[in-house]
């Protein structure tokens, strides 16, 4: 015996843990090959905000500054 799991503490403290969480835990004792990051549990990996490299302009109800409406053209 190399390791043992007693209770749900190392599985996120819930009895509805994901299969990925169980895989991660079994990989801690080299019981199975795990493709993900062995240093961080998968539930914590999902909570980390993903960085977006694409910067998009803010959208507003009124549109962007360059947008025009039909009302503006009728004033002339």
Query: Which residues does 64 contact at the CB level (< 8 Å), separation at least 6?
Result: 57
Whether the model clears a pTM of 0.75, i.e. scores above it, the answer is no
28 burial via Cβ count (<10 Å: 0-12, 13-18, 19+): middle
And the tokens for 7? 């209770």
Q: How many domains is the chain built from?
A: 1
> What pLDDT does 1 receive?
82
Range of the domain at 49: 9-66
Q: What is the pLDDT of residues 17-71, one digit of tens each?
A: 888 989 998 998 888 888 888 888 887 777 656 555 666 667 777 765 555 555 5
Assess if residue 16 is contained within a domain: yes
Q: Is 75 among the domain residues?
A: no
In a domain, 20, yes or no: yes
**What pLDDT does 36 receive?**
86
Q: Output the pLDDT for position 44.
A: 77
Q: Is residue 3 part of a domain?
A: no
Q: CA–CA separation, 1 vs 69, rounded Å?
A: 73
Residue 74 lies in a domain: no
In a domain, 28, yes or no: yes
């Amino acid at each position: 015996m190399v390791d043992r799991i007693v209770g749900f503490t190392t599985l996120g403290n819930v009895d509805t843990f994901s299969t990925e969480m169980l895989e991660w835990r079994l990989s801690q004792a080299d019981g199975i090959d795990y493709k993900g990051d062995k240093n961080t549990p998968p539930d914590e990996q999902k909570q980390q905000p993903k960085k977006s490299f694409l910067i998009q302009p803010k959208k507003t109800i009124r549109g962007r500054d360059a947008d025009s409406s039909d009302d503006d053209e009728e004033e002339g």
